[in-house]
Amino acid sequence: MSQAAARFNEPMNHHWMPFTANRQFHEAPRIIARAEGVYYWNSAGEKLLDAVSGLYTTPAGHGRQEIREAVTQQLQELDYAPPFQFGTPGSFRLAHELAQMLPEGLNRVFFAGSGSEAVETALKIAIQYHRVRGQGQRQRLVGRARGYHGVNFAGWSVGGMVKNREAFGLGLPGVAHLRHTHIEANRFTMGQGEHGGVDLADDLQRLVDLHGGDTIAACIVEPIAGSTGILVPPKGYLERLRAICDTHGILLIFDEVICGFGRTGHAFAADAFGVTPDIMTLAKAITNGNIPMAAVAVRQGIQQAIFDAAGPDAVEFFHGYTYSAHPVACAAALATLKIYRDDALFARGAALVPKFLEQIAGLADIPIVTDTRGYGLLGAVDLATQGGPGLRGFAVMRRCFEQGLVLRVAGDTVILAPLFITTESQLDEMFTLLRGVLKSV
């Protein structure tokens, strides 16, 4: 790979890279130059297997011609129009299509440009909803330890990743956190753990008892926490959260930025777990990762309350982004949803799940592996820390890249999220490579 670095001659110091050890990266760059199907090619032309669907973005495969054509056609027809006070045809079609797919009742859709923006939007909708109903005292937001809801102020405040919080001060006031759901008793479980679900969800009840349920606007969780290493909710957990929210008038927000669009083997995690939130955030796979886009799906009654409180000619929600419902993003999303339907891609992903989870579980015999878990096409392997937190994880990521495999690590946890079009033999290739690396670090 040093050969690859040698062939990459651009000066690197001008680009401040996100979530990256920049200076270390400059020493040994990992440059991805091309992609097609389930493979990337680095700048030296070497092939790499994508084990994490871009960044959970690209389940339908890299380089899909249908999306490319839709985007090209849209750019020729209408590149951009302002989303405030004007509309473009694609956004209405897309919102309608999403409403057909989403769990019943979630049929009003607000567009944003990223998962982080979707989260901010969802939390602001929740606060305004209560306010217009005379419950402006509901200001508290509840998140969860080890949750990830993007990097903007509300998102990191409700999020529970230490490194994403500690450098940035106090964050939003009035935020409380549930415990995370990764407990010892459920180690080495594929699917939902048997233990702790109701007790962990009762953290919300404890916050209600402490602060008063009528001070809490919303509780936001990822149905499966992705970024800190695929924390699957134990049985009964989400149901219990739903029940507590119902009892106390708290809005339940599912952040499905990773889970949405087939990742769990169902269209949405809400379908997989049979629990419907009041608000859902979506991004990433909505355009197969081809163009930035996000969406917030809302129960109709929430929108109705906000609309009813405003005069008939008034702007109801003072919120939006220059790139809300960008016409090119809408075209990419419409083409992506068509692929999901025409190729029955969620079913294809679901068919891969048993073998995938079996292979993840099969890594448990490697001495440095301290946990394996997964749900749908999301899998994680915890590694014993060596030399300091995250060092072994980073070494695994780097060695995998050198040997032709792109995966993610969160600290010392390896994360896999294969594309839905991955074949069984490509899965074998993925796990053979990973097993070899895990045995060598």
Q: Which of residues 74, 181, 227, 288 is near ligand PLP by CB under 6 A? A: 227
Q: Is 192 in the site for ligand PLP (CB under 6 A)?
A: no
Stretch that binds ligand PLP, among 68-76, 80-88, 148-156, 309-317 (CB under 6 A): 148-156
Give the binding-site size for ligand PLP (rule: CB under 6 A): 14
Q: Which of residues 50, 120, 203, 222 is near ligand PLP by CB under 6 A? A: 222
CB of 308 to ligand PLP, least distance (A): 30
Residue 23 has a CB neighbour count (10 Å cut-off) of: 9
Phi, then psi, of 216 in degrees rounded to 5: -105, 125
User: If you write DSSP's letter for every residue of 174-239 in order, what string do you get?
Assistant: TEEEEPPS--GGGTT-BSS-SSSHHHHHHHHHHHHHHH-GGGEEEEEE-SSB-TTT-BPPPTTHHH
Q: Which helix (H) or strand (E) holds 327?
A: helix 327-342
Task: Tell me the three state secondary structure of residue 123.
Answer: helix
CB of 146 to ligand PLP, least distance (A): 11
Phi, then psi, of 333 in degrees rounded to 5: -70, -40
Contact 261, 289 (CB under 8 A): no
Q: Which of residues 200, 269, 283, 293 is near ligand PLP by CB under 6 A? A: 283
Place of tokens 């790499």: 48
Q: Is 223 in the site for ligand PLP (CB under 6 A)?
A: no
CA dist 374 and 380 (Å) reads 6
Q: Which of residues 61, 115, 223, 236 is near ligand PLP by CB under 6 A? A: 115
CA dist 286 and 231 (Å) reads 22
Helix locations, 133-187, DSSP H: 153-158, 162-165
Q: Which of residues 108, 149, 240, 248 is near ligand PLP by CB under 6 A? A: 149
Buried b (16+ CB within 10 A) or exposed e, 96-135: ebbbebbbebbbbbbbbbbbbbbbbbbbbbbbbbbbbeee
CB of 121 to ligand PLP, least distance (A): 11
Q: Which of residues 119, 127, 217, 400 is near ligand PLP by CB under 6 A? A: 119
CB of 435 to ligand PLP, least distance (A): 27
Structure tokens at 436: 């070899």
Q: Nearer Cβ to ligand PLP, position 116 or 303? A: 116
Taking CA 147 as the corner, what is the angle to CA 146 and CA 149, rounded to the nearest 5 degrees?
145
CA dist 236 and 198 (Å) reads 6
Q: Which of residues 258, 282, 334, 377 is near ligand PLP by CB under 6 A? A: 258
Q: Is 94 in the site for ligand PLP (CB under 6 A)?
A: no
Binding mask 150-189 for ligand PLP (x = CB under 6 A): x---------------------------------------
Residues facing residue 410 across a β-bridge: 413
Q: What region, left, alpha or beta, does residue 250 occupy, with left being phi > 0 and alpha being psi -120 to 50 degrees?
A: beta
Q: How do the residues of the chain divide into helix, strand and coil, expressed in percent and rounded to 5?
A: 45, 15, 40
Phi, then psi, of 42 in degrees rounded to 5: -85, 180
CA dist 353 and 89 (Å) reads 37
Residues facing residue 297 across a β-bridge: 109, 280
Q: Nearer Cβ to ligand PLP, position 360 or 417? A: 417
CB of 416 to ligand PLP, least distance (A): 15
Q: Is 260 in the site for ligand PLP (CB under 6 A)?
A: no
Stretch that binds ligand PLP, among 110-118, 177-185, 358-366, 371-379 (CB under 6 A): 110-118
Q: Nearer Cβ to ligand PLP, position 213 or 265? A: 265
Q: Is 120 in the site for ligand PLP (CB under 6 A)?
A: no
CB of 255 to ligand PLP, least distance (A): 4
Stretch that binds ligand PLP, among 28-36, 111-119, 161-169, 350-358 (CB under 6 A): 111-119
CB of 152 to ligand PLP, least distance (A): 8
Q: Which of residues 226, 236, 262, 379 is near ligand PLP by CB under 6 A? A: 226
Tell me the residue number closest to ligand PLP, measured at CB: 115
Stretch that binds ligand PLP, among 87-95, 183-191, 252-260, 326-334 (CB under 6 A): 252-260
Stretch that binds ligand PLP, among 202-210, 255-263, 298-306, 338-346 (CB under 6 A): 255-263
Give the residue among 315, 308, 248, 313 at the shortest CA–CA distance from 278: 248
Interaction site with ligand PLP (CB under 6 A): 114-116, 119, 148-150, 222, 226-227, 255, 257-258, 283
